[in-house]
Amino acid sequence: MTKPVLLFGYGNLSRGDDALGPLLLEFIERNMDLSTIEILDDFQLQIEHALDLQGRQRVLFVDAAVNQEQAFVFSRLSPCKDESYSSHALSPTAVLHVYQSITGQTPPPAFLLSIQGVAFELGEALSVQAQANLQQACRFSEQLLKQNDLLDWLRQVEYARNIAA
């Protein structure tokens, strides 16, 4: 049976702060009841990941972000065909667009939690700044995932937007 919430983190554990997405997933796996949450991680998003959206009530993508001022940003996503189709990796919005294209259906409500990273070199450890940002994002995610109503998630987008302003 498909769980209603998909938590999809992506990034490379060997590239410093690029590990933020998978590390947040590890936190959720250790600290939360996963009876309604499916955890999925990969190095990058692919066309095939569009099929993982089937039967979901909500999807949360988690990734490291470059050139972001806040510790983390939580935003709502909409399907969008973008330039990532020409590469091997897709953006979350492109995954939603692929889902819409292959199923003919509107994708489930989807959100992105981007966590500020500063060091992405191969072989680097997680930076001190990224560790602090990850702690904040973990606390936020834990509270968010306890909320079962889509309206609560949408309120969190607005709340996060007001904090960043």
pLDDT tens digits for range 103-145: 999 999 999 999 999 999 988 899 999 999 999 999 999 999 9
Backbone angles phi, psi at 88, to 5 degrees: -80, -20
**Against a cut of 0.85, is the pTM above it?**
yes
Structure-derived torsion over alpha carbons of residues 84, 85, 91, 92, reported in degrees to the nearest 10:
160
Domain ranges in the chain?
5-164
* d(C-alpha 29, C-alpha 137), whole Å: 14
How would you classify the pairing of strands 110-116 and 72-77?
A: antiparallel
pLDDT band of residue 29 (cuts 50, 70, 90) is very high
The single-letter DSSP state of residue 13 is T
Share of the chain above pLDDT 70, in %: 92
Say yes or no to pLDDT of 162 above 70: no
Reduce the DSSP state of residue 154 to 3 states and report it. helix
144 Cβ neighbours under 8 A, 6+ residues apart: 60, 74, 153, 156
* d(C-alpha 29, C-alpha 38), whole Å: 10
Say yes or no to pLDDT of 163 above 90: no
CA distance to 17, 47, 48, 85, 115, per residue, from 140 (Å): 19, 29, 29, 31, 11
Cross-strand partners of 65: 116
CATH superfamily of 5-164: HybD-like (3.40.50.1450)
52 Cβ neighbours under 8 A, 6+ residues apart: 6, 8, 40
Say yes or no to pLDDT of 63 above 70: yes
Q: For residue 148, what pLDDT is reported?
A: 80
Query: For the chain, what is the mean pLDDT?
Result: 89
Contact assessment for residue 89 and residue 44, using Cβ atoms and an 8 Å cutoff: yes
